[in-house]
Amino acid sequence: MNINIRRAVKEDCPRLMELIHELAVFEKAPDEVTVPMEHFVESGFGANPVWWAFVAETSATADSPATVYGFALYYVRYSTWKGQRLYLEDLLVSEAMRGQGLGKLLFERVLEEAKEKKYSGMVWQVLDWNEPAINFYKKYNAVISDEWMNCTIDLSSE
């Protein structure tokens, strides 16, 4: 199977949203995805994009079209201690394609992007019960902290 890692384009957004919903189901939060498609598209491909992504796509064959099976979506975060850092919001490979090396290809492409842009590092979150992901990140000598707690305020319902 031939896999191509490329930058996401606007036309990928419907498939990205399908994969985001798959991720929400995997993370046991299927009803938490509330972003409208129009907002998602505008946020990535409008006049002032705030996110970027790479996709893992199979090559088209005579029998099937090219298909996106994974993505890595990121944005720039600023640390007052470290400067600009790449924040990896989501890394997902569709369940049908896990174990084929797509996650490794996507993760390494995002690392390459951080190096190319001369960011001081890369940060992300992983659920404490997601042992396969934790073990994957440990292969890259990632530091997984248990001292910081997540905080959020939902303003969408006000």
Question: 56 near 3, Cβ under 8 Å?
Answer: yes
Q: Are 110 and 88 in contact (CB under 8 A)?
A: yes
Active-site pick, 75, 87, 137, 140: 137
Give first-to-last CA distance, the chain, whole Å.
48
**Cα–Cα distance for residue pair 149/48, rounded to 1 Å:** 30
Distance (Å, whole) CA 6 – CA 109: 9
Q: What SS3 class is residue 19?
A: helix
Residue 119 annotated as catalytic: no
Coil, strand, or helix at residue 143? coil
- Catalytically annotated residues: 137
